[in-house]
Structure 1
């Protein structure tokens, strides 16, 4: 998990629903964006959806910046879970939980009461999937690998997204 740092970035990349407000506003950002994303992730795990989802990417970005955090009535989650999520999803990064002390502050939150952090890495997971030997895919028929993709275009040479459901139409904020 991210630790506090004074390093700033001006990048604007990521899934719209997970972007922190400071990224969207173009203010530059540090490790506090990772804690914002963790808050979005926890919210989605507990509620089945992200908190600022809009009708499209543009609406989602506006919601992240301008809408307050609201919790749905169901399912019910613990007070500690809500408190942690509220602390992680503070729109001003310098007021966000873990801004100053990083993971130490998160680990001490009541949501994680009972977690023995020293033993986490030695705990056995409930399921360990079988290994996949990817080398068996390395020697596939090279004639198939060398083929060029065929892209169908309209009479004017353009691609029409309404005719092709796999076409991705990017939106810009």
Structure 2
């Protein structure tokens, strides 16, 4: 899909398929090649100017466009006119992961392990390129037509130089690492923490520190108040992995490579990353 400059006339616009805080997403087809994509439309005045988000969007585009991994949603190109910005994105044809989890209530250990392994591989790739995502959650995870997981929405992603740290508190409350709750500097290990949150949520159907009041959630995060209910039944190996990721001291969290080598992942994850 290489082109020096795209414009809206290059695409046949199909049905509306989703909406985020800053834009609407439509199914579209590139006229010349017939290639099906997702086209995200963001209004400059209504959204970007109102929220002073031009710099934020520029950084998001630069980061996502630089990434090329099977488990990261591709941003092929972008263009704009007087009133709108358009992002040409890979189309993930299946249901969003959060909808799938809501429908199934919880995932089998095989499915959960496969998704965690896919995320660990994708994040290892991102971290190698000095990118931290900082907002991994079911709403930002999509499935392609083969059922392969794709990380989407790099709105809170940041470039991090070697041994560097970031200070901005960002992300979603239930998935925040303790250092973010405390407004301390953080590094790529905030993504590792979030993998522990997701592993728990995949298996139990809810994030581990969920509470009615956000301050109770913050308190539970800081205490690392993880409770493993007796039902549904979850294997000791899965609990072990979760416990080694949800560690307050970020330097002691399990590395992404160690996640992939963990017995629970080795025994349960589908190497193909799809097929459900």
Establish whether residue 59 from structure 1 lines up as the match of residue 216 from structure 2.
yes
Runs of 4+ in 1 over 2 A off after TM superposition: 2-5, 114-117, 123-127
What is the rounded CA distance, in whole Å, between the counterparts of 2:165 and 2:216 in structure 1?
26
Corresponding position of 1:94: 251
Q: Which residue of 2 aligns with 1:24?
A: 181
> Do the aligned partners of residues 116 and 67 (structure 1) sit closer, same or farther apart at CA in structure 2, a change above 3 Å counting?
closer
Instruction: Give the Cα separation in 2 of the matches to 1:111 and 1:124.
Output: 15
Q: How far does residue 91 in structure 1 lie from its aligned partner after superposition? A: 1.1
Normalising by structure 2, we get a TM-score of 0.40
Distance 1:90 1:38 in 2: 12
Deviations 1:48-100 (A, max 9, x none): 111111112222112111252221111111111000000010111111111xx
- Higher RCO by CA contacts (8 Å cutoff, separation 6 or greater): 1
Give the aligned partner of residue 106 of structure 1.
259
What is the aligned-residue RMSD (CA, Å)? 2.2
Alignment match, 2:274: 125
Q: Deviations over 1:9-63 (max 9, x none)?
A: 1111111000000111111111111011010001001001111111122221121
Q: Deviations over 1:110-148 (max 9, x none)?
A: 11124789xx4xx38337xxxxxxxxxxxxxxxxxxxxx
Bigger strand fraction: 2
Partners in 1 of 2:163 and 2:234 — Cα distance? 34
**1:124–1:53 Cα change, 3 Å:** closer
Aligned length: 119
5+ residue gaps, structure 1, are 128-173
